[in-house]
Structure 1
Amino acid sequence: MNTRVSVTELFSREEIKELTTASDLHGAWAIGSTWVVIAATFTSVAYYWEYAPIWAKVLMIAVALAILAGRQLCLAILMHDASHRSLFKAKLLNDVATDWLCARPIWNDLHKYRAHHMRHHAKTSLAEDPDLSLVAGFPVTKKSLLRKFTRDLTGLTGIKFLFGRLLMDLDILEWTVSNDQKRIPKNGKTLQDYATALFKNSSGAVISNAVIFGALWRVGHPKLYLLWPLAYTVPFPLFIRIRSMAEHAGMQTSHSALNNTRTTHAGPIARSFVAPIHVNYHQEHHLMAAVPYFKLPRMHDLLRERGFVIQPPTYFEVIHSLSKSENKTQNNDA
């Protein structure tokens, strides 16, 4: 295995200080602009719905779901950045504002995610990595990958995830964002205990989604709220899968982020749906997790100039490299 690289071998102390300085203004912009796009999407559907023919309505819904799912992923990435305390300088904004504005609306929990995610960074690509199941088995056959994408786009993956999250909130399964499912021992728990756990764990998501529904109801379009859970169930799992594949699938088992993590080139379409706020600079993130999102491109440029990283592949190239013909790899239909 390759040894872990020290950041002091890559950057000067002055560069490290500059790169790891967070900004409350940039954090507020990232969250605010995400919700502006979400609001604009709902507004556009509401405005054009009455005048659009049937075919245009179908197209409008498809586009709206893709945009909303892309922004849901953006909320997840903002939660991820806050888990590293790199989104805001202020702890209150990182731990409270981000939890309610980013994590809760997508049925997540910043504090539970932080505990889970820190283990991923400590054990990336190793057997103890809690996220290993998300990228295990790659490369797969093209048919296998197509089946995975089909499950994502037909809602099967999303429904499975929602059911799993419900069991986690009931304290039946251990909390995770990976595919591993571990039962929690009953230890004499009663129905009341499970109901209490559900109320405690789900109340934040219920409240935040009630606010979204209430805002749409207030402006006279409560039915539009259905687009929010539908986007979460259908396009969102596909975007999550592609993002996970690009970050770690097919990489070496190594202690070094230069070998166990991948940075991917993201054009405008990729940034809209699978790589919001520079999450595609994942190798840089694993090298120095305290670097806020808006400084990752500069960090990448410095590493390129010094010969530590190469020109990153596109998302299309990554997907192609991780899907082989039948005679080159065994089928993995996990």
Structure 2
Amino acid sequence: MPAVKAAKPNEIFARDEWAELTRVSRWHGLWLSLHAWLMVALITGGTALLWQWHWLAGLIASPVAIALVGSRQLGLSILMHEAAHGLLHPKRRINNFAGQWLTGAATGSDLHSYRAYHLTHHRFTQQPEDPDLGLSAAFPTTPASMKRKIIRDLTGQTFLKQRGNQFAVAWNGLKAMLSGATDTEPSAKRDTSAGTPLNRNGAAGVAAPVVNLDGAKRTTRTVGRFLLVQLAVLAISLATIGIIPFLIWIIALATSFQLILRIRNIAEHACTTTGGNDPFSHARTTHADMLMRMTFAPYWVNYHCEHHLFMGVPCYNLPKAHQLLIAKGYRERMTIANSYAELLRTVTRPVAA
């Protein structure tokens, strides 16, 4: 199918408005990357101190800490997504370093693989060619189905399945690196590896069997960066307060991050009237109060309609873009949910009698 229709900023914004919206700061994106890690340190460190003070206080605080750390892990994925669009820093080398090492590596993502994948999503949003179509096509779903998804996320089943697929590919890539095998060799002599597609945040998705040694090697390097970050978190944890901060970090990565990531993905496109002709229908914006911004919508990720309309607008300018669109009378063309609770009611419907 043809690519979806793009918005024309010059027909919506004045020249000075557009210049302000698309200005990429030299410090804002880097500050947000630092902010995410500082929040992780404060949350995990504070919870560890509560455990030292009294085990009951630590026990009560830990679920809250795990939820908040999962949100910051999503935040790191969002900032990697910003880097994929070249919006984390105006200098490409700094932008790519921050997207690869400061943000993406923490959740097992590769900036460059994700960039190609994600731009395809923008070009063919909700069309058959959209690699993210599977994230929204199943909705609306039943409460029972949603409950099963939540249980899989919060019990670590989703994490284990995704990491298992990713690590299997990485093992094949490592063997290819050690043996010197390449994709230029006859297929009969190659290892059969599983390609690991990335979801909208760059997290590993469900693998599909393919013969792709170059892709497997990239996955090996991605897993290597992921493990280095986990070792760094562990080393800092042990060198300061003890094992508790690392345990909160890794449990959050395996549980709350998975659920928050799922709800974020659902919010963006599920049950929208997306089509190729109206760029205002490509995605949903969800209003978020302070609690939601601390959990499901860090770093303005809830302004997804605005992001699809204008890929060149950094995340910290999306609220301004939203305000301008509303002021200019575009509200009726946009898909907007008043809350995440309203959104979940929209995508979860009982089976008809």
Please, what TM-score do these two structures have when normalized by structure 2?
A: 0.85
Higher mean displacement: 239-248 or 142-151: 142-151
Residue correspondences, number: 322
1: distance between equivalents of 2:116 and 2:296?
24
2:344 match: 319
Distance change in 2, residues 1:114/1:198 (3 Å):
closer
Please say if residues 87 and 293 of structure 1, whose CA atoms lie closer than 8 Å, have aligned partners that are also in contact: no
Please say if residues 216 and 222 of structure 1, whose CA atoms lie closer than 8 Å, have aligned partners that are also in contact: yes
SS in 2 for 1:121: helix
2:138 match: 137
2: distance between equivalents of 1:258 and 1:230?
38
1:185 match: 211
Distance change in 2, residues 1:200/1:29 (3 Å):
closer
1:222 match: 243
1:117-266 aligned at under 5 Å gives the runs 117-170=118-171, 171=173, 172-178=193-199, 179=205, 181-185=207-211, 199-255=220-276, 256-266=278-288
Among 16, 19, 25, the residue aligned to 1:17: 19
Please say if residues 27 and 88 of structure 1, whose CA atoms lie closer than 8 Å, have aligned partners that are also in contact: yes
Shift of 1:220: 4.5
2:307 match: 285
- Listed one character per residue, the Cα deviations across residues 41-94 of structure 1 (whole Å, up to 9, x for unaligned) are 12112211122243x332222111111101000000000011001121121221
Shift of 1:219: 1.3
Please say if residues 138 and 322 of structure 1, whose CA atoms lie closer than 8 Å, have aligned partners that are also in contact: yes
Shift of 1:199: 4.7
Please say if residues 125 and 252 of structure 1, whose CA atoms lie closer than 8 Å, have aligned partners that are also in contact: no
Shift of 1:180: 5.0
2: distance between equivalents of 1:5 and 1:40?
41
2:184 match: none
1:296-307 aligned at under 5 Å gives the runs 296-307=318-329
Please say if residues 169 and 194 of structure 2, whose CA atoms lie closer than 8 Å, have aligned partners that are also in contact: yes
2:30 match: 28
Distance change in 2, residues 1:169/1:11 (3 Å):
farther
Distance change in 2, residues 1:244/1:197 (3 Å):
closer
SS in 2 for 1:111: helix
1:332 match: none
1: distance between equivalents of 2:21 and 2:254?
36
Among 256, 272, 288, the residue aligned to 2:294: 272
Identify unmatched segments of 5+ residues in structure 1. 329-334
1:98 match: 99
Paired residue type of 1:18: E
Higher mean displacement: 306-315 or 318-327: 306-315
2: distance between equivalents of 1:154 and 1:266?
26
Higher mean displacement: 64-73 or 167-176: 167-176
Higher relative contact order at CA 8 Å, sep ≥6: structure 1 or structure 2?
A: 1
1: distance between equivalents of 2:37 and 2:22?
26
2: distance between equivalents of 1:128 and 1:199?
27
Shift of 1:214: 1.3
Give the fraction of aligned pairs with identical amino acids, expressed as a percent: 32
- Listed one character per residue, the Cα deviations across residues 257-298 of structure 1 (whole Å, up to 9, x for unaligned) are 311210000111111111111110000000111101111111
Shift of 1:200: 3.0
Please, what TM-score do these two structures have when normalized by structure 1?
A: 0.89
1:66 match: 67
1:331 match: none
SS in 2 for 1:263: strand
